[in-house]
Amino acid sequence: MTPIGPNCFEARQRGTNANNWRTVDVKSRLGFARLAVAVIDGKLTPEMRAARLTEAEPLLLESASGLQAEARLSLIYKRDSLERLVRLYEAWPKPDKLAGWKQKLEAFEKASTP
């Protein structure tokens, strides 16, 4: 078995399945992992923490947009992508963005509840 290298995700993004929902979901999970490191790693300076959050933001935004647009995708994946953005802005003092994503998550939950 070939080990997965650090450039595996980048190669997948350049491949023919770059817009596949699974690749987009991996992008969301990668963004959330960067968020988790920023929150959990006590050795990070405030500047390093901000850099991790800055790295996470575009991954989470792009993946949320892609997953929301996927018509046949399970609602769980769509909800998780919105929840990850709420968690990002809870950890990062950006109250306007937090309020906006909380509203989107609440609207999503209302629309998806029978």
Can you give the residue ranges of every domain in the chain?
Answer: 8-112
Sites in the chain below the pLDDT cut of 70:
1-19
Separation in Å, CA 94 to CA 25, 42, 80, 84, 91: 24, 21, 20, 14, 9
C-beta separation of 73 from 21 below 8 A = yes
Per-residue pLDDT, 56: 97
In angstroms, rounded to a whole number, what is the distance separating the alpha carbons of residues 58 and 113? 28
Per-residue pLDDT, 19: 65
Per-residue pLDDT, 15: 56
Per-residue pLDDT, 13: 56
C-beta separation of 66 from 19 below 8 A = yes
Per-residue pLDDT, 12: 55
Per-residue pLDDT, 114: 72
pTM of the model: 0.84
C-beta separation of 87 from 32 below 8 A = yes
